[in-house]
Every structure is written in C-alpha cells, then in structure tokens.
C-alpha cells in the first residue's frame, strides 16, 4: 500500500511540518495600515498594532480590528490547506 515508504520517517516529516506551520506568523492590515493584526498557525492572536489616531473613534477601531484579525486568520487557514495538500502530495504514497 505504501510501497517502500518508511512510516516512522513519514510521521516525523509530518510532525515537523505541522510544528513549522504552527509557528508561522500571518499578518494583515486594515484601514490603510492603521490597524495590524498577527496570528500564528494555531490561529492565536499574537500581536495587534493600532495607530494612535484611532484611539478616539471606538466604532471605527472595532471594525478595523475585526477586519484585520479575520484577514490574518483567513491567511493562516488558506496556508494550512495548501501545506496539507503539499504534504500529502510529497509523501509519494503508492509510488
């Protein structure tokens, strides 16, 4: 079924790639760069930067924060999907 593939080696490779993906950082901005949000590969918010000009406008700040965070999470999700496809494509299962 797996041909000449070493299952332990395959598992180790998958675990290494998963660890790398979890540590990767995805950053998105909104409001022309007034708000910046970063998430890691575990979809945890790890950093938020807010331009001082937004501190007086709570409603705009909330909207821009949500936008930046959601965009960063979308980036992480899409990258994880792509990495998963590449990971399984690179395993040479059945060859």
In a domain, residue 58? The reply is yes
**How far apart, in whole angstroms, are the C-alpha atoms of residue 42 and residue 73?**
9
In a domain, residue 95? The reply is no
What is the CA 22 to chain-centroid distance, rounded? Answer: 8
In a domain, residue 76? The reply is yes
* Domain CATH for 40: 3.30.1310.10
Local confidence pLDDT in tens for the 95 residues of the chain: 556 668 888 888 888 888 988 999 999 999 999 999 999 999 999 999 999 999 999 999 999 999 999 999 999 999 989 988 887 776 555 54
φ/ψ (deg, to 5) at 28:
-130, 155
pTM here? Answer: 0.78
In a domain, residue 94? The reply is no
**How far apart, in whole angstroms, are the C-alpha atoms of residue 51 and residue 64?**
11
In a domain, residue 2? The reply is no
Domain count, the chain: 1
Give me the domain span that covers residue 82: 7-89
In a domain, residue 22? The reply is yes
């Amino acid at each position: 079924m797996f041909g000449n593939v070493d299952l332990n080696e395959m598992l180790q490779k998958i675990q290494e790639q998963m660890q790398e993906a979890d540590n990767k950082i995805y950053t998105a901005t909104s409001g022309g760069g007034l708000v910046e949000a970063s998430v890691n590969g575990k979809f945890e918010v790890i950093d938020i930067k807010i331009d001082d000009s937004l501190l007086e406008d709570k409603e705009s700040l909330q909207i821009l924060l949500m936008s930046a965070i959601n965009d960063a999470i979308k980036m992480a999700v899409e990258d994880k999907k792509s990495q998963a496809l590449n990971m399984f494509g690179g395993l040479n299962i059945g060859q």
